[in-house]
Amino acid sequence: LDDLLGEGVRGRRVLVRADLNVPLDGEKITDDGRVRAALPTIRSLTEAGARVVVAAHLGRPKGTPDPAFSLRPVAVRLGELLGSEVTLAGDVVGDQAKAAAESLGDGGVVLLENVRFDARETSKSEDERAELARELAALTGDDGAFVSDGFGVVHRKQASVYDVARVLPAYAGGLVLAELEVLRTLTGDPQRPYAVVLGGSKVSDKLAVIEALLPKVDRLLVGGGMCFTFLAAQGHGVGSSLLESDMVDTCKRLLAEAGDKLLLPADIVVADAFAADAAKRTVPVTGIEDGWMGLDIGPTTVAAFGAAVRDARTLFWNGPMGVFEMAPFAHGTRGVASAIAESEAFSVVGGGDSAAAVRLLGLPEDGFSHISTGGGASLEYLEGKELPGVAVLSEER
Ligand code: 3PG
């Protein structure tokens, strides 16, 4: 981005790929963290006089316009935060997008409609993606540029993330650079003890990162829905808790490989239904009865996990410890997250859900060294995978 600003951008149209994929309740944004994280790059461009065309996605529409996935609420919020109106183009690369881009003045911002309304965005066909990329690039006219700033989506080989960087002069935005610098600290030579806290619903989603991290960490704490497959692998009954039966053998192997490094819950808050007003009680992991489902880790576990993170020097946390969206099952996530926030460690929160939990539970954001905007992207980085949207920026052209 500094290179681009150094070239001068006044009057030039710059396409910025941002990750504005925020959680919505109807038209209401429940966590605007990603919109706020996109501001510095957009601001530095508008302040330098660029005409900014923002491309972003929301959710996973089926490659066709769908009002339920419109970026309209995001355009409104972006405008509020920037302090100047942001026009939402009614389409991605059609007449409305062209007109909106052409009518931009210096320092103006237009947001294109959800780029996934165009099926070519996520197409497996490189030709189709390249065609959309050329149409996106054309919105910037003859002397356009592309700034890749949607860190949360750089693990996707998609037209507005990857292919467009092969068409326009392409630059890394400040958010992408900042996120990569933090993650490099975790994969480089982290200060020890290095503890990782993983939660979320599925072991299968986290398997690759568990395999990659186990040799590198001193402690791996597992809570959230995924802990029940591990508990089943230890021979415990898990009632009607989340269980990935086809992963039980894998969990047995991981438990054997990890030895003392892997900490599982000792007690669980179980409920008789998946509802905030369900009957609930706390039981030891040996006592989860049929008909009951685990929706949070219990207080003994919160204390043990808290102790295990408190003296760590490096911490990475991804995934809630329970169904934190329902107040009766938020204690585990709140307790562990608070212990992380209170620790002196270099602490990184990775992922959409965990970052949202920090804000929704009102935890002090400044207690964490870094709250990543990337869920899948930060996990894939830690797995050691190449991120296509980053790799493409250093391709020879
Ligand atoms: C995310 O929410 O992790 C990013 O916005 C990417 O979204 P996706 O998983 O639908 O590609």
* Phi, psi dihedrals of residue 349, rounded to the nearest 5°: -100, 120
Instruction: Identify the residue whose C-alpha is closest to ligand 1 atom 2.
Output: 21
- What length does the chain have? 397
**Which residues lie across from 294 on neighbouring strands?**
270
Residue 396 inside a domain? The answer is no
Please identify which residue in the block is written with the tokens 């207080």. Answer: 299
Q: What is the domain-level CATH number for residue 332?
A: 3.40.50.1260
**390: its two tokens:** 């980053």
Q: At what angle do helices 299-310 and 331-342 cross, to 10 degrees?
A: 20
Rounded Cα–Cα distance for residues 254 and 138 (Å): 50
Is the same domain home to 243 and 262? Answer: yes
193 upstream amide cis, omega within 30 of 0: yes
Q: Which of 178, 208, 224 is the last residue of a domain?
A: 178
Domain count, the chain: 2
User: How many helices (H) and strands (E) in the chain?
Assistant: 14, 17
Residue 248 CA to ligand 1 center (angstroms) comes to 27
Low-confidence ranges of the chain (pLDDT < 50): none
277 is in an annotated binding site: no
The DSSP annotation for 239-270 comes to TTS---GGGHHHHHHHHHHHGGGEE--SEEEE
Residue 35 CA to ligand 1 center (angstroms) comes to 14
Is the same domain home to 167 and 270? Answer: no
pLDDT at residue 397, rounded to an integer: 74
**Is the sign of the CA dihedral 154, 157, 158, 163 positive or negative?**
positive
Residue 166 inside a domain? The answer is yes
43, 157, 166, 202: the catalytic one is 202
Is the same domain home to 163 and 269? Answer: no
Please identify which residue in the block is written with the tokens 């054997």. Answer: 256
Rounded Cα–Cα distance for residues 43 and 40 (Å): 5
Residue 268 inside a domain? The answer is yes
| Per-residue CA distances from 316 to 223, 242, 377 (Å) | 14, 24, 14
Residue 10 inside a domain? The answer is yes
Is the same domain home to 200 and 341? Answer: yes
Does 352 qualify as catalytic in the annotation?
Answer: yes
Residue 391 inside a domain? The answer is no
352 is in an annotated binding site: yes
| Per-residue CA distances from 66 to 32, 77, 90, 92, 157 (Å) | 21, 20, 12, 13, 22
pLDDT at residue 153, rounded to an integer: 97
pTM of the model: 0.91
Is the same domain home to 215 and 94? Answer: no
376 lines ligand 1 (CB under 6 A): yes
Question: Ligand 1, closest atom to CA 152?
Answer: 4
pLDDT at residue 352, rounded to an integer: 77
* Domain with 26 in it: 2-178
pLDDT at residue 68, rounded to an integer: 95
ipTM attached to this prediction? 0.99
pLDDT at residue 331, rounded to an integer: 97
Rounded to the nearest integer, the mean pLDDT of the chain is 96
Is the same domain home to 208 and 327? Answer: yes
Is the same domain home to 254 and 358? Answer: yes
Is the same domain home to 268 and 339? Answer: yes
**333: its two tokens:** 């996530």
Is the same domain home to 332 and 218? Answer: yes
Best mutation site among 69, 116, 156 for ligand 1 pocket (most ligand atoms within 8 Å of CB): 156
Q: Which of 178, 212, 242 is the last residue of a domain?
A: 178
Residue 392 inside a domain? The answer is no
Is the same domain home to 223 and 344? Answer: yes
Q: Which of 178, 201, 225 is the last residue of a domain?
A: 178
Rounded Cα–Cα distance for residues 183 and 135 (Å): 33
114 is in an annotated binding site: no
Residue 69 inside a domain? The answer is yes
Nearest Cα to Cα of residue 354 among 386, 378, 383? 378
**379: its two tokens:** 């996990």
DSSP class of residue 105?
P
Is the same domain home to 11 and 137? Answer: yes
| Cα-Cα end-to-end distance for the chain | 18
Question: Ligand 1, closest atom to CA 57?
Answer: 5
Residue 380 CA to ligand 1 center (angstroms) comes to 12
The one-letter amino acid at 160: S
351 is in an annotated binding site: yes
DSSP class of residue 278?
S
pLDDT at residue 39, rounded to an integer: 98
Q: Three-state SS string across 150-185, please?
A: CHHHCCCCCCCCCHHHHCCCEEECHHHHHHHHHHHH
Residue 215 CA to ligand 1 center (angstroms) comes to 28
pLDDT at residue 396, rounded to an integer: 79
pLDDT at residue 351, rounded to an integer: 76
